[in-house]
Structures are given as C-alpha cells and as structure tokens.
C-alpha cells in the first residue's frame, strides 16, 4: 500500500485528489496539510511514502521546505504538483530532493501513474520536461569554464580546430601517447564525452572562433 500525504491550500483540489487516490486499491491518503508550516509536523506524525506537494502554498515553500522535509524524512518521495508552467525553475527543486513534477493540468490517470512510478522506480517527469532539463544541464555544464593547464588549452584548441594528432604532435613536439593522455585529462576536467562536445566547449568559451 502506498501511503500518500497531500499538501494543497485549495479545499476543492485537496478533496478531489483524496477522492481519486482513495479509489485506487494500492493507495491511501494518510495525511493532509494546507500550509507550509504544518507540513513538517504532518509528515513526522505519519508513515507516508509519497508527499504530494503543491508548489504555491502559504508559509514555507519551495527549495527551503523540500530540504527541510528531506532532512526530517530522507526516504520520503516528494512529487511536486503545480499550476506553474514546466520550465527551468523545476531544476532547483529536483536538486533539493524532489523526485518528480507534475502539472495540475495533467490527467488524473497520469497523476496516479506518477505516484506509482516514484514509489517503485524513483523519478517522474513528463517527457518534454525531461528532455528540456537534460538539454539545459548539458549546455550549462559545457559553458562553465574549467581551469586547464597551458598545454591542455593548446591541445584543446588544436583538437577543436580539427587538427590531426600527428600534426599536433609535430607542432608541440610531443608524442602521440602524450596527446592521448592530455586529451583524456581534458575530457575528465570538462566532463565531456567526445571531440564534438570538446569543439562545442571551445567555441562557447572563445577558446577558438568560428
């Protein structure tokens, strides 16, 4: 049985969610709150598995509330339910400890599916949101400059320009083996996977120009 605690400050929404979840044979609502200041007391007094958390409630909310919840109940699975558009604001909530996000405009069957998924597998995001966040994180990681040595910067620049390793070795008077070692260190420092990402990083950070 999945024990669900609901946090929402709209009575109609709260009652609707309770009715939907309690109609499921594997779910039960064991607690509710309409104010952020009541959430911590509520979850510590119950054995809830999943917390349905409205993003816009009075009192404590957002990242601060999620961190406090996870501090008190590390194993609780937090599913954000909100009327806000699915955009970049979601990422800080996930980093704080939430494991899912669903819009209030989603269908009730999708909500039930999301609860089951985060309870059994761990995470839930709509396909579009997951793709957007993955892209944003990739670009963010690529654009953040990381400190490279002078030799690493030179080799990065030459690889990004499409130079052959033999030509790089001749130009810098080093062995092919040394180039391979330095390239691996560059990839590790920048968290890159291949030369395409390496070239993209170099362009974004003005290490080379188009």
Tokens of 99: 């494991």
DSSP result, 192-206: --SHHHHHHHHHHTT
Are 57 and 64 in contact by the 8 Å Cβ rule? The answer is no
Residue 125: predicted pLDDT: 79
Q: What is the pLDDT of residues 47-101, one digit of tens each?
A: 999 999 988 888 888 888 999 999 999 999 999 988 765 555 677 788 889 998 8
Closest by Cα among 85, 31, 81, 45 to 61: 81
Q: Which domains does the chain have, with CATH numbers?
A: 2-128 (3.40.50.2300), 141-204 (1.10.10.10)
User: What is residue 112's predicted lDDT score, i.e. its pLDDT?
Assistant: 93
Question: What is the chain's length?
Answer: 210
Q: What is the pLDDT of residue 127?
A: 60
User: What integer pLDDT is reported at residue 132 of this predicted model?
Assistant: 58
Q: What is the pLDDT of residue 135?
A: 46
pLDDT of residue 161: 80
pLDDT, residue 141, reads 47
* Angle between helical axes of 176-190 and 165-172 (0-180°, round to 10): 100
Q: What is the pLDDT of residue 199?
A: 77
Coil, helix or strand at residue 7: strand
Q: Report, as ranges of residue numbers, the positions in the chain whose pLDDT lies below 50.
A: 135, 137-144, 209-210
CA–chain centroid gap for 129, Å, is 10
Cβ–Cβ under 8 Å, residues 86 and 126? yes
H helices within 55-175, ranges in order? 62-72, 90-96, 108-120, 127-143, 150-160, 165-172
State both tokens at 86: 């699915």
């Amino acid at each position: 049985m999945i024990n669900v605690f609901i946090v929402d400050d709209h009575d109609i929404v709260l009652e609707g969610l309770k009715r939907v979840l309690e109609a499921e044979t594997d779910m039960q609502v064991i607690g509710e709150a309409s104010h952020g200041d009541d959430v911590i007391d509520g979850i510590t007094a119950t054995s809830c598995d999943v917390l349905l958390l409205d993003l816009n409630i009075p009192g404590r909310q957002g990242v601060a509330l999620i961190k406090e919840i996870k501090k008190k109940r590390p194993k609780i699975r937090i599913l954000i339910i909100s009327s806000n558009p699915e955009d970049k604001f979601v990422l800080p909530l996930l980093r704080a400890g939430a494991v899912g996000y669903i819009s209030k405009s989603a269908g009730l069957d999708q909500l039930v599916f999301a609860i089951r998924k985060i309870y059994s597998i761990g995470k839930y995001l709509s396909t579009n949101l997951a793709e957007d966040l993955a892209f944003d994180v990739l670009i963010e990681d690529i654009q953040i400059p990381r400190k490279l040595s002078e030799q690493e910067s030179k080799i990065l620049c030459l690889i990004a320009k499409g130079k052959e390793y033999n030509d790089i070795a001749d130009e810098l008077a080093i062995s092919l083996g040394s180039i391979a070692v330095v390239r691996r260190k560059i990839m590790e420092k920048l968290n890159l996977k291949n030369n395409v990402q390496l070239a993209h990083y170099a362009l974004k950070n003005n290490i080379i120009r188009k």
